[in-house]
Amino acid sequence: MACLARPEYAGGTPVTHDLNLVFTLAGGLSAALVLGFITQKLRLSPLVGYLLAGIAVGPHSPGFVADASTASQYAEIGIILLMFGVGLHFHLKDLLAVQAVALPGAIVQIAVSTLLGAAMALPFGWNWQAGAVFGMAVSVASTVVLTRVLTDNRALHTPTGHVALGWLVVEDLFTILALVLLPALLDGTRGDSSLWSALGVTTLKLAALVAFTLVVGQKLIPWLLGFVARTGTRDLFTLAVLALALGIAVGSAEFFGASMALGAFLAGMVVGQSDFSARAASEALPLRDAFAVLFFVSVGMLLDPGALPEIWPLILVTTALVLLGKPLAALAVVLLLRRPLSQALGVAAALAQIGEFSFILAALGTSYGILPPEATNAVIAASIISITLNPLLYRAIPGLLRRLAKYGISAGHVAPLAEENGAPPAPADRQRIVVAGYGPTGRSISRILRDNDIDVVVVEMNIDTVRTLRKAGIPAIHGDAAQHEVLTRAGAGMADALVISSSAMPAKEILNAARAVRPGIRILVHTAFLRDAMKLHEEAGVAAFSGEGEVALAMSIHLMREFGATEEQMENERRRIRAALNSDDRKDAAGA
């Protein structure tokens, strides 16, 4: 810290380093860690702790005060990385598959929220314009909250999750158009021609962004990642993916007038359709959760607790609009489109919150003098309340469905989605084994297993090997087998066993990751040394095979055969050598 604060000299002029960035990061994350842990122990969502941390380090609370602008910039990075990660799992055909629900649903919900906002404005003495802008602001859900809630409940890659995400994309597009058109509508000096011109230009820019990302990017991005992956340097691959995510996000805002979140989402969709999907998700986004936490901290920092007693009726009405008006509109639309009740409830609950774009729209209305100053505080307070309650509402859906079933109301059935760029589900009558590494050992094991009608999925870091296997019809995943995401894509959650075929692989890390995906999975490990094999043998469900021991055994048996030993003598000696090797290694381990 002292060296950072020390004045430096450039051209004779003293320059003092600004420590707001470091203090904000350290203070915000530390407060989020402590309060997130406390709320988790109280069986509440950690999101509540992150919001409270923002209030604690905000400008309206005593003690340490973090820099709000710095926190919001960190939060923007978190949103970009989060949406890039969502795009990795969300493909264009998934978006097109849910357009029949997401498009009309989002439009109807936005319209209902706008009308409700206009209606609620009258008792507070606002005009209809203020009410309409306020209704638009609370009609859009938070990207971070929705994806976090769906992920925590393992619903992100389900039909319900895809409908909710498609809905969110439509809301994102609506927000972009609203941010362009509202100034033209609120500024009385601009005519209809200016309005339609702004709408046309924005629509063309959005179409150009989608075309550029999905058409040009689909050829350029996988080529670039393949070029970097062949270097074999993990740092370069990580940097390449982060540069793509942030670069396309910034470019979409700078050149196409779109939100950075939308640009990152489209970039993730392109990478997700390539062979690098699992590796990018597991290796290149380790910071997304930390930066996403700062989003909630930055939201908490905006709240002024001293203003709450004066505007509590407005906060109450706004919260009712977010937690009742919006979800009921979504529920009605999804049911009218003849989707199952379980999906309708899931989408409605997931959208019962507001976030980042709500603040932007409310701030825009305030800057034009349409909304009074208390409107922003009401939106922030309602956001904090809805973000706090949203995980609880979503977790309550299974219990509600069970109660409804007692009265003969069926939840309906929604077929699960297959994981894109992952291993296909194994047939019901076949076993599945995941083979990590496709060197000589992995290749031989895979061939023997396939010859015996066992389903094999290969996890391999060499992208050329992965592409060759896929062309041959063998399921293969590109990535590090020590990563949870990669093993999940390989189908380890339903596998009978995992084979670590190379002694150069980090066996202990892979073993821990595999047990996190499937606790009871059997694991076969190839190690270089006997002492490593013995340590792994102590783990339940692990069989370890040492190259050192197998070479000693093979050479001994070869010598016996050369000197005319019988098969029975060789078998007896084989057992004796194995026992001796194991005994010697135990002594070595004890001595160590």
Question: What pLDDT shows up at residue 206?
Answer: 78
Q: Indicate the average pLDDT of the chain.
A: 79
DSSP string across 523-585: EEEEESSHHHHHHHHTSTTEEEEEHHHHHHHHHHHHHHHHTT--HHHHHHHHHHHHHHHHHHH
Q: What's the rounded mean pLDDT across residues 110-125?
A: 86
Which tens digit of pLDDT belongs to each residue from 508-526?
888 888 888 888 888 888 8
pTM exceeding the 0.75 threshold for the entire prediction: no
Q: What tokens were used for 425?
A: 């589900």
User: Which of the four pLDDT bands, split at 50, 70 and 90, describes residue 373?
Assistant: confident
Query: 10 Å Cβ neighbour count for 230?
Result: 12
User: Which of the four pLDDT bands, split at 50, 70 and 90, describes residue 20?
Assistant: low
Exposure pattern of 415-429 as b/e (b: 16+ CB <10 Å)?
eeeebbbbbeebeee
The Cα–Cα gap between 513 and 24 comes to 33
Question: What pLDDT shows up at residue 328?
Answer: 93
Question: What pLDDT shows up at residue 189?
Answer: 47
Q: Read off the amino acid at residue 93.
A: K
Query: 10 Å Cβ neighbour count for 14?
Result: 8
Q: Which residues contact 574 (CB under 8 A, 6 or more apart)?
A: 553, 557
Count the residues in the chain: 592
The Cα–Cα gap between 91 and 86 comes to 10
Q: What's the rounded mean pLDDT across residues 557-562?
A: 77
Question: What pLDDT shows up at residue 426?
Answer: 59
Computed on alpha carbons and rounded to an integer, the radius of gyration of the chain in Å comes to 29
The Cα–Cα gap between 304 and 170 comes to 31
Question: What pLDDT shows up at residue 6?
Answer: 37
587 pLDDT more than 80: no
187 pLDDT more than 70: no
The four Cα atoms 482, 236, 1, 73 give a dihedral, to 10 degrees, of: -90
User: Which of the four pLDDT bands, split at 50, 70 and 90, describes residue 591?
Assistant: very low
Which tens digit of pLDDT belongs to each residue from 443-485?
888 888 888 888 899 998 888 888 888 888 888 888 888 887 7
Computed from CA positions of residues 570, 576, 582, 588, in that sequence, does the dihedral angle turn out positive or negative?
negative
Q: Read off the amino acid at residue 36.
A: G
Q: What's the rounded mean pLDDT across residues 532-555?
A: 74
User: Which of the four pLDDT bands, split at 50, 70 and 90, describes residue 34?
Assistant: very high
Question: What pLDDT shows up at residue 317?
Answer: 92
Taking the CA of residue 187 as centre, how many other CA atoms within 13 Å lie in the half-sphere pointing to its CB? 14
Q: What is the set of domains in the chain, with CATH numbers? A: 17-406 (1.20.1530.20), 432-591 (3.40.50.720)
316 pLDDT more than 90: yes
Q: Which residues contact 439 (CB under 8 A, 6 or more apart)?
A: 501, 502
CA distances from 428 to 248, 432, 433, 446, 517 (A): 42, 10, 14, 20, 20
Which tens digit of pLDDT belongs to each residue from 249-292?
888 888 877 778 778 888 888 887 777 877 787 776 667 777 77
8 pLDDT more than 50: no
Choose the most confident range, by mean pLDDT, from 194-198, 382-386, 571-575: 382-386
Exposure pattern of 67-84 as b/e (b: 16+ CB <10 Å)?
bbebbbbbbbbbbbbbbb
Which residues are registered as beta bridge partners of 13? 10
Q: What's the rounded mean pLDDT across residues 130-136?
A: 88
Question: What pLDDT shows up at residue 14?
Answer: 40
User: Which of the four pLDDT bands, split at 50, 70 and 90, describes residue 184?
Assistant: low
Computed from CA positions of residues 88, 488, 291, 155, in that sequence, does the dihedral angle turn out positive or negative?
positive
What residue ranges in 364-514 does DSSP mark as E strands? 432-436, 455-460, 476-478, 497-500
Question: What pLDDT shows up at residue 19?
Answer: 63
The Cα–Cα gap between 154 and 238 comes to 26
Question: What pLDDT shows up at residue 503?
Answer: 77
Q: What's the rounded mean pLDDT across residues 347-361?
A: 84
